[in-house]
């Protein structure tokens, strides 16, 4: 049976055995024959061409040279020993180096015997050497078929020691292909195969591992990318279908009195069109009888809180409770304050629950939640404690959701028998293709418009040598009544040094901006929540003009009077973080500024990050650049999601294919939601196999 081929344990493949199997699992996650088949070459090299030693230079990729080893000598200190070999041909010599497996190599390499060497020339101290080359006796070089597209496989030092270098891997792939069933059933629907004129599955596998031409390799690669993305989308959409079938949603059949009263009598400004559009989308969802899982994306300052509040009012108007969870105490406080002030003339009972809520108050909140007296609960992680029980929670808002783990979030909606509607909000704009994938099982709303009257923030790049000029500028802004943030990096790995830098910076700022004329606040993650809050409040009230801080102020903090954001060591921040920080200013009607301070030497990527920031205020453009620079593996939220097991497809480069495969998956599921029709049998089979393999990654409920 064909599926036996894929699921057969790797130790049963000829040439593997228990020891190699163990390290294949550990080092590359290869457990089965299927895993090995999906371990594709990461590049191909031209094995028809031989270079001479004299031609070898560091600009060349992997190359092969014929020659002999004339000496092998161990060099270096005790713990840093390495093996040096002298490799010669008629045109000269170069140095070979090994840092591991010295004993084995010394015992097994033959001096003065002709080898084919394969490796990447590098330059070290002005001479050419090759580190950990692959060597094959010319007399035994039968495996290396002279091909202009010889596959190269990624492997590790540990694997190499057991003979599984790239060539060893190739040997396994050849063994594997002998057993590849000739009648591999199709996984893609016939209509797709016809439309794209894809190679058959069998041909695809042989063409990706042993291509006869670039053209053939490209065809195989396209099919594999398509298949990876198609099944990813199919899984997400299938999961969403299952959920809507299984989970009944609370029906909010009216907008209710609270919403109407607020909308007509208390709303302090006109909603933007984007806000209206999103509220409408949510209203349709929560009235439909299905449970809502919606992601609300909107750049910093776009007014997500108001949208959340108005939805919570609908919940209350339908007789349910609502809650909003924020990632930090500062943010929770701020939500509580702004919501309290929006609702001050209405009869809505709100409560704030955080880590600092005192025992007595806490107990009272617990009680009032259970008897239904509290309408809206605002808080931090404290909300997900087991003691917090609602009478009838109907609507959950999660702010800055990427700060919470999936598990943490799901604990919140398990608090009810009926799953409440869930709105997760993020100010980190996610490029479309990534959103379609990361949040492919959610509905997505976007606020793509800022409230009127905001001026774009003017962003500049400056160096330490500009310090005097910048300080003078700050004094001018402060004299005009504005406030200033100065942010320092603080990352865990170098926490001590960073904290020292922050304190040194703080002291020198206090010296340059002396009391009584100036007052400076400081906030960082190592302070007690109470002290942090006290300092924050001083700044919010305008008692201090300068806020020196680490990224704890990154999220959500709202001081409309602040007009300057200075970011120290800006080269150490990621793009999305820089954008978030910048979003702390530009919240009022005044012109705001963001000053990115860096050292004078910058790497290529840092330079591009800074330039992007200076060029645009558009969060989505910034997110696209971020995705290109860092790859999706690092993009916000992907790391914890663990669902991006893409071997060849790339969410950034293959954006069009992401869209296309999603559309096709939607079409197929629309016509045949259970994939029960015979034309979809192969697709269904593959989908089940993938779900069995990695489990169902339910994101929300």
Which residue lies nearer to ligand ADP by CB, 64 or 272? 272
Containing 499, the helix (H) or strand (E) segment is helix 495-512
d(C-alpha 586, C-alpha 458), whole Å: 9
Q: Is 303 in the site for Mg ion (CB under 5 A)?
A: no
Which residue lies nearer to ligand ADP by CB, 160 or 587? 587
Residue closest to 348 by CA, chosen among 251, 256, 280: 256
Interface characters, 354-393, with ligand ADP (x: CB under 6 A): ----------------------------------------
Q: Is 189 in the site for ligand ADP (CB under 6 A)?
A: no
Q: Is 328 in the site for ligand ADP (CB under 6 A)?
A: no
| Spatial contact of 371 and 363, defined as CB atoms under 8 Å apart | no
Give the three-class secondary structure for 682. Answer: helix
| Spatial contact of 197 and 222, defined as CB atoms under 8 Å apart | no
Q: Is 619 in the site for Mg ion (CB under 5 A)?
A: no
Q: Go through 181-200 and write b for each residue having 16 or more CB atoms within 10 A of its CB, e for each that does not.
A: eeebebbbbeebbeeeebbe
Of ligand ADP, Mg ion, none, which one does residue 340 interact with (CB within 5 to 8 Å by kind)?
none
One residue of 301, 556, 619, 682 binding Mg ion per CB under 5 A: 556
The DSSP letter of residue 519 is -
Joined tokens for residue 402:
């990427």
| Spatial contact of 405 and 382, defined as CB atoms under 8 Å apart | no
| Interface region with Mg ion, contact rule CB under 5 A, candidates 173-181, 377-385, 406-414, 551-559 | 551-559
Q: Is 121 in the site for Mg ion (CB under 5 A)?
A: no
Containing 108, the helix (H) or strand (E) segment is helix 102-108
| Spatial contact of 312 and 282, defined as CB atoms under 8 Å apart | no
Minimum separation from the CB atom of position 687 to ligand ADP (A) = 37
Minimum separation from the CB atom of position 697 to ligand ADP (A) = 28
Which residue lies nearer to ligand ADP by CB, 300 or 383? 300
d(C-alpha 380, C-alpha 591), whole Å: 33
d(C-alpha 658, C-alpha 639), whole Å: 19
Interface characters, 539-558, with ligand ADP (x: CB under 6 A): -------------------x
d(C-alpha 594, C-alpha 585), whole Å: 8
Of Mg ion, ligand ADP, none, which one does residue 682 interact with (CB within 5 to 8 Å by kind)?
none
535 burial via Cβ count (<10 Å: 0-12, 13-18, 19+): buried
Minimum separation from the CB atom of position 297 to ligand ADP (A) = 10
One residue of 302, 318, 357, 544 binding ligand ADP per CB under 6 A: 302
Minimum separation from the CB atom of position 444 to Mg ion (A) = 17
DSSP output for 266-280: I--SPPPHHHHHHHH
| Spatial contact of 635 and 430, defined as CB atoms under 8 Å apart | yes
One residue of 102, 161, 271, 350 binding ligand ADP per CB under 6 A: 271
d(C-alpha 168, C-alpha 174), whole Å: 10
Q: Is 565 in the site for ligand ADP (CB under 6 A)?
A: no
| Interface region with ligand ADP, contact rule CB under 6 A, candidates 60-68, 303-311, 366-374, 602-610 | 303-311
Q: Is 632 in the site for Mg ion (CB under 5 A)?
A: no
Of ligand ADP, Mg ion, none, which one does residue 271 interact with (CB within 5 to 8 Å by kind)?
ligand ADP
Minimum separation from the CB atom of position 305 to Mg ion (A) = 5
Q: Is 301 in the site for ligand ADP (CB under 6 A)?
A: yes
Q: Is 272 in the site for ligand ADP (CB under 6 A)?
A: yes
Give the three-class secondary structure for 646. Answer: coil
Joined tokens for residue 689:
């196999």
User: With CB under 6 A, what is the number of residues at the site for ligand ADP?
Assistant: 16
Site for ligand ADP in 607-626 (CB under 6 A): none
d(C-alpha 426, C-alpha 408), whole Å: 16
One residue of 47, 160, 304, 684 binding ligand ADP per CB under 6 A: 304
**Residue whose Cβ sits closest to ligand ADP:** 303
Of ligand ADP, Mg ion, none, which one does residue 298 interact with (CB within 5 to 8 Å by kind)?
ligand ADP
CA dihedral (471, 476, 481, 482) in degrees, to 10, reads -50
Q: Is 12 in the site for ligand ADP (CB under 6 A)?
A: no
Q: Is 300 in the site for ligand ADP (CB under 6 A)?
A: yes
Instruction: List residues near ligand ADP by CB under 6 A.
Output: 269, 271-272, 275, 298, 300-306, 427, 451, 558, 587
Instruction: List residues near Mg ion by CB under 5 A.
Output: 556
């Amino acid at each position: 049976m064909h599926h036996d081929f894929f699921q057969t344990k790797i130790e049963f493949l000829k040439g593997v055995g228990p020891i190699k199997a163990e390290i294949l699992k550990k080092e590359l996650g290869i457990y089965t024959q299927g895993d090995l088949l999906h371990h594709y070459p990461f590049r191909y090299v031209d094995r028809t061409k031989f270079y001479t030693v004299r031609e070898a230079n560091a600009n060349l990729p992997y190359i092969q040279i014929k020659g002999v080893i004339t000496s092998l000598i161990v060099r270096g200190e005790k713990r840093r020993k390495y093996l040096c070999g002298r490799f010669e041909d008629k045109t000269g010599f170069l140095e070979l180096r090994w840092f591991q497996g010295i004993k084995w190599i010394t015992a097994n390499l033959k001096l003065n015997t002709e080898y084919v060497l394969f490796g990447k020339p590098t330059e070290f101290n002005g001479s050419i050497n090759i580190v950990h080359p692959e060597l094959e006796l010319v007399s035994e070089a039968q495996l290396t078929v002279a091909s202009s597209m010889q596959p190269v496989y990624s492997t590790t030092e540990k694997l190499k020691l057991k003979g599984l270098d790239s060539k060893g891997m190739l040997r396994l792939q050849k063994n594997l292909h002998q057993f590849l069933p000739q009648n591999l059933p199709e996984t893609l629907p016939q209509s797709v195969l016809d439309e794209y004129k894809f190679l058959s599955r069998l041909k695809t596998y042989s063409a990706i591992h042993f291509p006869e031409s670039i053209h053939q390799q490209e065809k195989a690669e396209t099919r594999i990318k398509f298949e990876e993305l198609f099944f990813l989308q199919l899984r997400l959409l299938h999961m969403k279908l299952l959920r809507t079938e299984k989970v009944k949603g609370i029906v909010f059949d009216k907008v209710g009195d609270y919403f109407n009263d607020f909308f007509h009598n208390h709303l302090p400004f006109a909603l933007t069109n984007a806000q209206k559009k999103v509220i409408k989308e949510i209203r349709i969802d929560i009235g439909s009888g299905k449970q809502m899982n919606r992601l609300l994306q909107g750049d910093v300052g776009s007014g997500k809180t108001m949208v959340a509040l108005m939805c919570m009012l609908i919940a209350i108007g339908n007789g349910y409770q609502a809650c909003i969870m924020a990632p930090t105490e500062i943010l929770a406080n701020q939500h509580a304050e702004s919501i309290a002030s929006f609702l001050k003339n209405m009869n809505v009972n709100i409560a704030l629950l955080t880590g600092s809520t005192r025992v007595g108050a806490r107990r009272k909140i617990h009680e009032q939640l259970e008897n239904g007296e509290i309408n809206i609960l605002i808080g931090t992680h404290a909300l997900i404690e087991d003691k917090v029980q609602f009478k009838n929670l109907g609507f959950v808002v999660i702010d800055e959701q990427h700060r919470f783990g999936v598990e943490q979030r799901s604990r919140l909606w398990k608090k009810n028998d009926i799953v409440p509607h869930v709105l997760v909000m993020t100010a980190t704009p996610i490029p479309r293709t990534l959103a379609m994938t990361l949040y492919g099982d959610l509905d997505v709303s976007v606020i793509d418009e800022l409230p009127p009257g905001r001026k774009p923030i003017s962003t500049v790049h400056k160096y330490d040598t500009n310090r005097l000029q910048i300080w003078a500028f700050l004094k001018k802004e402060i004299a005009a009544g504005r406030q200033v943030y100065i942010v320092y990096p603080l990352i865990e790995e170098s926490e001590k040094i960073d904290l020292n830098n922050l304190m040194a910076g703080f002291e020198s700022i206090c010296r340059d901006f002396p009391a009584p004329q100036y007052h400076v606040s400081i906030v960082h993650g190592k302070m007690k929540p109470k002290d942090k809050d006290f300092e924050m409040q001083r700044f919010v009230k305008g008692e201090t003009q300068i806020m020196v801080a680490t990224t704890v102020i990154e999220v959500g903090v709202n001081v409309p009077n602040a007009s300057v954001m200075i970011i120290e060591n800006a080269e150490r921040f990621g793009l999305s973080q820089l954008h978030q920080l910048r979003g702390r200013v530009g919240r009022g009607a005044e012109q705001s500024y963001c000053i990115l301070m860096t050292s004078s030497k910058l790497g290529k990527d840092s330079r591009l990050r800074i330039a992007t920031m200076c060029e645009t205020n558009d969060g989505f453009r910034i997110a696209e650049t971020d995705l290109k620079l860092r790859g999706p593996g690092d993009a916000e939220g992907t790391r914890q999601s663990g669902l991006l097991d893409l071997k060849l497809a790339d969410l950034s480069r293959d954006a069009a294919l992401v869209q296309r495969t999603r559309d096709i998956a939607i079409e197929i599921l629309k016509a045949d939601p259970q994939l029960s029709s015979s034309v979809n049998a192969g697709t269904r089979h593959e989908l089940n196999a993938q779900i069995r393999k990695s489990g169902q990654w339910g994101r929300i409920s």
